[in-house]
């Protein structure tokens, strides 16, 4: 989401850090706030500020995981068990990040096993 140039110029760098919330997180948070309703893709996009070019992909991936349901032009929160498992996983990840710090992807990749190397051994 863009900010005005005055905010950009007057704010400290740490106040301008981009949220780590993903598009999928935004969609899930919105739908979880309205579990008794279904919305069109454009209504979800407008409510979550997810880019128009991304909303379809986000919804499709969430549907593949059972986190949202799709019927006709409408989308709704997924079944309770699937959503509960997703929420539990998110909370566990957040708790681990709070306790141990977030993963550094570059550091992780330095120590990751390369599947191609394993296949040749």
User: Quick check: is 49 in a domain?
Assistant: yes
User: Positive or negative CA dihedral for 76, 79, 85, 87?
Assistant: positive
In a domain, 8, yes or no: no
Say if residues 44 and 59 touch (Cβ distance below 8 Å).
yes
Contact in structure between 55 and 22 (CB atoms under 8 Å): no
**Rounded to whole angstroms, how far apart are CA atoms 37 and 11?**
38
- Quick one: pLDDT band at residue 116, thresholds 50, 70, 90? low
Q: 97 pLDDT exceeds 80?
A: no
Q: Which residue has the higher pLDDT, 112 or 24?
A: 24
pLDDT tens for each residue of 22-79: 899 899 989 989 999 999 999 999 999 999 999 999 999 999 999 999 999 999 998 8
Looking up residue 24, the CATH number of its domain turns out to be: 1.10.10.10
Whether 58 maps to a domain, the answer reads: yes
Please, what is the average pLDDT of the chain? Answer: 82
Per the structure, the complete domain to which residue 83 belongs is given by 19-93
């Amino acid at each position: 989401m863009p900010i005005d140039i005055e905010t950009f110029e007057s704010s400290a760098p740490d106040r301008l850090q981009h949220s780590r919330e993903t598009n999928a997180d935004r969609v899930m948070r919105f739908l979880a706030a309205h579990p008794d309703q279904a919305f069109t893709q454009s209504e979800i996009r407008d409510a979550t500020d997810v880019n128009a070019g991304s909303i379809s992909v986000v919804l499709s991936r969430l549907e593949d995981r059972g986190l949202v349901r799709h019927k006709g032009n409408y989308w709704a929160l997924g079944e309770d068990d699937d959503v509960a498992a997703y929420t539990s996983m998110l909370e566990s990840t957040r708790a681990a990040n709070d306790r141990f710090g977030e993963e550094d992807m570059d550091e992780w990749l330095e120590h990751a096993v390369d599947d191609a190397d394993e296949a040749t051994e």
